[in-house]
Every structure is written in structure tokens, then in C-alpha cells.
Structure 1
């Protein structure tokens, strides 16, 4: 037994050292290629499905403009939720102060606070969305980076172009109807304003939030979805460069589809396709998995949307302004030693820690912390899950795994509804606080004492994955 213990200690030490080196290498790398915010108008543009739009994100929280940030028309989104055109709310292609608004279903007009407060539970109106919070925090970090109260020579502009309930095939260039025209319309709209004002224009971020519908419709294989997303990425970057005239590519930032929209079929195929592309491609980063933030059992709530936007802004700043590389908290190596399964992780800010993701509006713990061990595709009994080093988790099994491929799955659907408990120790302070205002349209359950009045915590949560052991 002593020999086994010594052996495991040595394996943990090796895994941990390699993982710590991975963390250091990300911050020491320098990206000299990605587009920086060097123009008069610097465009952040969001695309995808309902979580990009902000469906059920009422009431709007980000109602006061910050740092001179702008949007096209009277809302970050176009008037229509699903037409293949970006028609600004209010009709005119004018840049207005960037704020979040709630829009009527059907008409797209901006709702009053009283009308929002009267919405029934489960209403599908679009409101607060990730991009507004992202742009606000991105500009604050930009100002801090350059030690300016506000850099008025560089204006940040945010546009949201997504359409809810669409597979990636329907959002791709050339689809019929071509919803992709919403993206082109936003690019051309802001670029047109810049030209008319004799100002420079560039795209500094494409924020892509999609994948839920491909778990149930469309291509739900890892290879198929990867090919579709890769092509869409190429088209979006190419068109951004063509319209703006810039030569440096904008960073492509995604989240990872998960939570209640996840599926164990095909080994978390959509989530894994998104993760692998972020690992394989330059200027492509995964900011966070979607599962830990407050939500309405599917769509996020207002705080959840703004919260995930802050995480995207944190990652954007590190990649674009600081020039660092980025990987989310994700597995590096899986080793089986007797009854123990050891997993090393890339940890952006060590050490690892266990926390409680929000499932709906409830901080939820899981006894196995979101981990499963599969032998030939069948889950085996886990005795314990513990953090044994800064970057290493040990799973102890009831019996040694015998015969067949050993895999680890984290944040699976059937066992954990797409959630997990592992995060790092990043102590970045967000620029916005979790808000609850009774009678505003927020659900009473959103009154969460441990969050209300405090900055959104921005630890990096582990991505969902299913990967085989390396031995």
C-alpha cells in the first residue's frame, strides 16, 4: 500500500507541475496579431441564438450608459427578432447611448418599466443581454489600462444580431432565409455611420453564443458541428475584414453550451466541438461555460446575462488589450492508477476550488461535483472526488476499472443537468453588482442574499467535457 501511495504522490506532483506550467505559459505568450481598439468606432458584435439576444432577460439592468459606449438605434438589437435584416429600433441608422432595453414581442418596440413589471412568469421578451455588460466592462478595463478617466478618442459600439431557437445551419451564410444578413446589416450600419462622419471603424470582437438547438435538431455530431461552426467563423471574420478594411482579425469569443440544454448523446458533442475549436484556432477563445450563472432553467435572468457578459469582457481584455493567450479551466491529462483517476487541469488562476453553480436561482451542490467515470460508456461507482493539488482532482472509485476505455465526463446532462462545481481562484472584481428590485419584473427567487449588492464573482468555471484517460 505504501508503494501505491508513493506512486500516486509522484503522479500528482508531475501532473500538477505540468499544469502550473500551462497556466504560466498562457500569460507569458503574446498575441501580436489580434485587432486592438485603435479606431474611432470599435465594434463589438454578438451573434447566435436566444442567449445572445437576452431572451427572458427582464427587467433590463444596464439602463444607464457608460463611458460613451454606443449602439445602432434605440436598442442593441434590431426591431425584428427574426427578420433577415438589421433594422434599427427607431428606424434611423444613428448611434445612440448603449443601454439594455426590453422589447415587445412581435412589434420590437421598447417597453416601459411598468409594462415590464407586469409581464407574466415565463414571458419570452428579450431584454438585458451579455453584450451590453461586456462592452461596459471592456471599456472600463481599457480606460484603466491606459490610465484615462475615459478614452474619448476610442468609442466602443455594441450590436446584438442573434435569433432565438435556431440551429447553426439556419444562422450560417447562404441559409434561407439568410438570417446572417442581420450580422452584415450591423457591420454595414455602424461602418456607414463612421464613413459619413469621416471616422475610422474596426471590429474588435465577435461574440458567439449558440449551440442549444443543435443538441436536439440539425447536425448534433462533434465533427459535423465543428465543420459548420468553423465555416461560420471564417465567413464572419472575412466579412468583418472586408467591410471594415482592417487587416487584423477580431477575436472570436464563445461560451460553451451546457446546463439544461446539454446532452450526453455523442459525448457532449456540441460542447466538445466548441472547446476543441477554441484550442485549435488562433484568435478564438472560449470565455466560460454557460452553466454557473443565474438563470430561469434554460434562458438566463437579467443578472445572469450581465454576469456572463462581465466574464467575456475579462477574457477580451486579457487577450486583446494585454495580448495574452487564454484557455478556460479545462482538462489536460487523465491518468488511471488502481482505483484512482487523476485529472490535471489548465487553471487560469490556481488553485482549484469547489463552489456551487446556480441552477435556476438556487446555488446547488453535487456530491460528485459534476464528475462521472465511464468504462466502455457505462458509469461506474465513485466513492469520492477531491482536490489534491493546485491543479489536480482525484476521483476514487469503488473498484478498479477493468476492460474497456476509461473516460471522464464532467457536467453531463443525465447525472448533473449540465452542471458542475469546479472553478479556479480568480478574484477579478466586476464593475457591476448583482441587483434585485422587488416589483420590477424580477422573480422573487432572484433575491439571493449572498449575491445582492456585491460585484459579480468572476472565477473561471470548468468547461463541460468527456475525454478518455491517457493510459
Structure 2
């Protein structure tokens, strides 16, 4: 027997989406909250895995899930002494925080930007207003476009009829003329639900003929706000996660562009939970369940107006000279490469007259452009004499290859490649304000003086080895990396005048990953949390030189191709992808690690990757290593079977604890997990695969109970 339908909300067609209604539970009880389109996008900017709390008192009692986990406090005007920063300075309660495991505390990172602060103030003001209002006013205020019709039906059926259905709904209003008295009893009455049901039942027949009364017929964790005429949720709130879910409401101006239709329904089953779709079921606004990021129409950290969740936040504009500029330490300048491989230019890509390093041997040389080839000028600008093949040619030329395959002729997108790195430098020695940072800007200025139709599209960042040597803590390195990206973006735009953002591409340093994992984890977490930074590969996958610190010439060109593939994706408006760890769960003795996989199947490869103990995985039961009985892949998951069910908190680590046979990286670690992407690069007549190789990671597993 079918479950009886419970009338919930009256949803007429609307011309725009002004207000979204949700439910929030902050631990003191469920609250209905109202989000406007002006603040919804800003609220969706919180990084993946982050927390939002309304006070510092609430946040400080929570134990973070991993080092660097982001959090935000909104609307708390008080102050406290930072429990992590040296000297414990007084900081605002409101702002962005990061979890510091070593201190077991939240560290205040920065205040909210003006936009975020405005949103916080607006949300706080709305909450105060709702608290002061009586229950009847509160119902009327939070209803939004869909729920407003129901509130007004209870308060004044005549007005409701006029708003919902125009002249045709006047009959409904007359039939419900006595609803005003009934609405007064509803406000604050314990029998709220039954009275709403009664009223809705009385109005159902005439309103269905006019406005397709939305009825909810389901059950479970979703609290519906509006439902379709066949019981499908159009807009609701997941009580378990607090996330907005739904299939869209009404016809929006965007929908009229993409396709006409009435109530829009979601027809997919992917990782995106839709809020609004067009009439063909394409997502216009939604939430990525795997990352927690908003995707769709809104600006400010949400994907482009195409509604494509794989689109970059903002497209780049191709110009006459598209600059791919490397920056970092020795791996960005070809240290210990031993040879020059790229002596001819297969396309029309360029570098400076002084070569990729823009250096004559005694001074900077930005005099002109020339065909991109590599050199071994010594001494190099950083004073060393062992520099040869850089990643510049591998990156620029492979980017042209990828774009050509996508239908973009190399002559239609000319790439200028150069590198401004310095061997052996920590991140603080490369940051804005350091002496060397001015040399980074000189590459930008030099190119722009030669051709005003020039823009820096990406910075290929490669660094962290010296910070691993010096044991720079995660809590210092992560914000320094974020600040460097922000400074480079601002300074480059000031020089070039470009409106498009400068995207950062970075490798994950495997050097020191075993002895000081903070740097490798910061690389991964920054790429996971930033809309403008993308991971290209971990360095354990490439051949190292005899010093066990730098790469060979083949290694640089091979790794450069990974940067090039990512560059080409950005040039086409797509987010670069990598094999990304999403979650770890444990049920009994089975640990399951889930990934976002660019190309299935997952492969545990001990042929192309150095064979590593337990394929690079390590499972901790509390602080003790658990015995692994077997490791297998299943779809997007890696299944790790333990010899016994763990009794304590389970932590899964990868490429942080063991180094594969036959390779030597100082303090390094490796693993054997990759995807099946078929891309290759040909170097000196030999094909090298461009699999997406799994980066080092650490995840705390959730114990499953059902």
C-alpha cells in the first residue's frame, strides 16, 4: 500500500530564485535559516572538509580531523588569546582557523574578507530578528518564494490566492476566507503540523488545478522545503549533513536561455547534489558531495556559469604570449639534470633571449624572445653550475600537444616558458618581501615590456625540500603557501593588467615525506582546498639523480609534461584532475579508501612504480601499526583487509612510510597506486606513461555502524 502523501508546501512557478530556506542544527536545537542569493555563494566558499560555527566557544571544543583542517567562525564579535601562536596574542573570535594537531587546538589564521564579513553580519542580523519575532512573524519571514505562499495562505487566503495563481486562485482565496483565524492558532501551537495538514487538505483541490501543489511522499534524512506534484523533493535539507539538496524551483532567466520548462527535475546520479537544474536536468546550482564545494552559477569560488562542475572558477583569455612561469627551488631550474634534451622547438613556443632562466651567464637577459629550447648556461642566476634541462620545454610543448588534440593549433596559443627558481631556498626565502621575489617579478615585467599582449596564465610551483630539511611545521608552511599564491596573483595582475586569475600548479614533494610529512601533506591539502591551485603529481614517480635529491634530465622533462597537461586543461577552461583521496572508512577488519579517479580502473602497479611495502599503505590502530593481510582495488576504492578488527582510532597513510625498491630519495617514501589514464610523452624516442599517480596522504577512518 502506497504511503499517504502529506501536503507540505505550495510551490507556484516563479521567475527567479531570491531566497533559499534551510535547517541548521548547531547543537542547541534545530533552527530554520534563510539564505539569499547574495550570501549563498559566499557561504559556499568554505574549503572542503571545513567547519562553520557561530562562536569561538563552539569551535574550540571540537577536535579537528586532520592537520590544517579549515574552519570559520561567523558573527562572534568577541576576542580570545590564540592557543597556538607564540605569545598567545589576542585575536578576533570571528575569522578563519586551521587545526594544528601538534597543539591540539585551532589557530586563528585571518579575519574575514569584507565580503565574508558582510555575509556574517547579515546572517547574524537575520538570526537576531527571527529570535525577537513571534512565531507567526518568523514563519512569514523565512518562507522565501516557495514557503511564502503557504504562510500567506494561513494568514490571509485572499492575498495568497492573488500571489500564487492570479485571477484563477481567487476562488481558492474565497474558499479559505476563514484561514486568518486558523493561522493565529497555528503560531506557537503544539499542533502546528496537524493544522497545516488540515489547511492544505482543504486548499489542495483548487490549488492543484492552478499551481501544481507540491506534495512530499518520501521519508528519511531529507527535510523537504518544496516537492513536485508527484512527491519528488525540489528543495530540501539533509538533516544529517545540513546540506541543501533538491531538483530546482521554477523557471529562472538562466533556464530560459538553456531551455524552457516548468518545474525542473534532476536526471543525474553523480557526485553533485543539485539545487537548481535547467529543463533538461543539467545542474545550474549544486553541491559536490565529495568536496563540499558549490558548483553552478554563482561567482566567488563556485564553478563557471556553464554549470559544469569541472570548469575552472574563471576562464583564462588567450593572448599573443601566454606565460607559463616556473618558481620554487632547485627542481624548477634543472639542478643536477646532467644533460640538455630539448634542443629544437617542435611548435612555436618561446622563451627569453637568455633562455628559460633569462640569464646570459653574468646578468639577466630579457632583451627579446626566441624559440623555446633548453640550455646549460653556467653559472646559473642562483650561482650554481649544474643546471641543464628544466621543466619548461616538457611543460610548454606537451601543453601544445594536448591543445592540438583538442583542436587548438599551436600557433593559436603560443606559450612563453621561463623559470625564476632558486636552488635550496625555503618558502620564506621565496616569499614576497624577500630579495629573490623581485627576480620572479622581473620575468613578468620583462615579457610584458616586449609584448603588451602578454598574460601569465599559470605559475608552475615546485618547492618544499628545504622546508622538509628544516622541519618547517605544517601550521607555518600551509598559510605561507596560500599567501605566496595570493601575492603572486595580485602582483602579476598589477604588472600585466590581466583580468583572469593566475592559477598555481604544484608537484607534491616526496623528498622528506617519510622524515617530515608536513610539507607533502600541505601540498595536497592546499590543492584540495583552493580553487586556484592544482596538484600535478608526486615526485616519487620520476627518476632521481645520483644525489638522491634532484631529478635526471628525463625526469624533469617527464614531470614537465604533467605540468603541461594541467596547463592545457586550464587553457580549455577545465580544472586539472589528479588521483585524489576522498575518504577512509572501517567496518570490522576491512578498511575502505575511496578516491576520485580520473580514469578507471585503479591499478596497484609494481612494474612502472617501484615495488613498495604494502603498496605504500600503512594503517594505524591508535598509535600502533595494524597488520595488513591483503590489499585490493574495487572500482574507485582500495580495500585493505587487516588481520584483526581495530580497537582504536584508525588512520590510513600512503606514501609516507616506506620507499620502493631500487629508488633512493632522501627521507622519501613512495607507493604503487595509479589510475589508467593512457597519455604518454615521447622523450628521446622512448614513450613514458602519464598515469595519475596517487599522492601521499593521511586520512582518519570513520567507523561504520550500519
- Distance in 1, matches of 2:614 and 2:450, equals 53
Pair 1:161–1:399, CA change in 2 (3 A):
same
Is there any run of 5+ residues in structure 1 with no aligned partner, and where?
1-16, 110-122, 436-452
Q: Are the counterparts in 2 of residues 357 and 419 from structure 1 also a CA contact under 8 Å?
A: no
Structure 2 contact 628–641 (Cα < 8 Å) conserved = yes
Contact kept? 1:293, 1:308, Cα under 8 Å: yes
Point out where structure 2 has 5 or more consecutive residues left out of the alignment: 1-269, 273-287, 296-302, 661-667
Tell me how far 1:341 sits from its aligned partner.
1.0
The aligned residue for residue 284 of structure 1 is 533
Q: Which position in structure 2 is the counterpart of 1:223? A: 475
SS at match of 1:345: strand
Task: Tell me which residue corresponds to 2:587.
Answer: 337
Question: How far off is 1:30 after superposition?
Answer: 4.6
Mapped contact 1:257–1:289 kept (Cα < 8 A):
yes
Residues 325-404 of structure 1 mapped to structure 2, 5 A cutoff = 325-356=575-606, 364-387=610-633, 389-403=634-648
Structure 1 residues 32 and 257: CA distance shift in structure 2, 3 A: closer
The structure-2 alpha-carbon separation of the partners of 1:320 and 1:106, relative to structure 1 and needing over 3 Å to count, comes to: closer
Shift of 1:366: 2.0
Alpha-carbon deviation of 1:191?
A: 0.6
Is 1:183 aligned to residue 436 of structure 2? Answer: no
Counterparts of 1:47-446 in structure 2, within 5 Å, are 47-79=327-359, 87-88=363-364, 91=365, 93-105=367-379, 125-148=386-409, 150-151=410-411, 153-175=412-434, 178-195=435-452, 200-217=453-470, 220-258=472-510, 260-265=511-516, 268-296=517-545, 297-321=548-572, 323-356=573-606, 364-387=610-633, 389-403=634-648, 405-414=649-658, 417-430=668-681, 433-435=682-684
Q: CA deviation at 1:35?
A: 4.8
Q: 1:139 to 1:415 in 2, by over 3 A?
A: closer
Residue 406 of structure 1: CA displacement? 1.0
Q: Distance in 2 between matches of 1:18 and 1:399?
A: 33
Alignment check: 8 A CA contact 2:619 2:651 kept: yes
Q: Which structure's relative contact order is higher, taking Cα pairs within 8 Å and 6+ residues apart?
A: 1
CA deviation after TM superposition for structure 1 residue 377, in Å: 2.9
1:384, distance to aligned residue in structure 2 (A): 1.6
Structure 1 residues 409 and 80, CA gap change in structure 2 (3 angstroms): farther
Offset at 1:69? 1.1
CA distance in 2, matches of 1:326, 1:459: 13
3-state SS of paired residue (2:540): coil
How far, CA to CA, are the matches of 1:108 and 1:269 in structure 2?
Answer: 27
Q: Are the structure 2 counterparts of residues 274 and 107 from structure 1 closer, same or farther at C-alpha, using a change threshold of 3 Å? A: closer
After TM superposition, give the deviation of residue 145 of structure 1 in Å.
Answer: 2.8
Instruction: Give the secondary structure class of the aligned counterpart of 1:395.
Output: strand
Paired residue secondary structure (2:428) = helix
List per-residue Cα deviations over 1:55-75 (Å, max 9, x = no partner): 111211111013121111232
Give the Cα–Cα distance (whole angstroms) in 2 for the partners of residues 32 and 371 of structure 1. Answer: 32
8 Å contact 2:543–2:555 — kept in the other structure?
Answer: yes
Structure 2 contact 540–670 (Cα < 8 Å) conserved: yes
2:345 aligned counterpart, secondary structure: coil
Given the alignment of the two structures, is residue 29 of structure 1 paired with residue 29 of structure 2, yes or no?
A: no
User: Does structure 1 conserve the Cα–Cα contact (< 8 Å) formed by 2:382 and 2:423?
Assistant: no
Q: Secondary structure at the match of 1:368?
A: helix
- Give the count of matched residue pairs: 398
The TM-score, its normalising length taken from structure 1, stands at 0.78
SS in 2 for 1:241: helix
Distance in 2 (alpha carbons) for counterparts of 1:105 and 1:350: 46
1:454 aligns with 2:678: no
- Give me the whole-angstrom Cα distance separating, in 1, the residues matched to 2:334 and 2:313: 31
1:220-274 deviation per Cα after TM superposition (whole angstroms, max 9, x unaligned): 222211110011101101111111100110221111111x432344xx2111111
**Aligned-pair distance for 1:372?**
0.4
SS at match of 1:240: helix
Kept in 1, the 8 Å contact 2:372–2:393? The answer is yes
Between the aligned partners of 2:320 and 2:613, the Cα distance in structure 1 is 51
SS of equivalent to 1:305: helix
Which whole-Å deviations, capped at 9, do the CAs of 1:376-432 have from their partners, x for residues lacking one?
233222122111x121111111222113x21011001456541100000001233xx
Which has more radius of gyration?
Answer: 2
Q: 8 Å contact 1:212–1:257 — kept in the other structure?
A: yes
Residues 56, 125 of structure 1: 8 Å contact kept: yes
Separation in 2, partners of 1:367, 1:231:
37
Assess, with a 3 A threshold, how the Cα gap between structure 1 residues 338 and 276 changes in structure 2: closer, same or farther.
same
Alignment deviations for residues 198-224 of structure 1 (CA, whole Å, 9 cap, x no partner): xx1111111100111111216x22221
> CA contact under 8 A between 1:214 and 1:270: conserved in structure 2?
yes
- The offset of 1:320, in angstroms, is 2.6
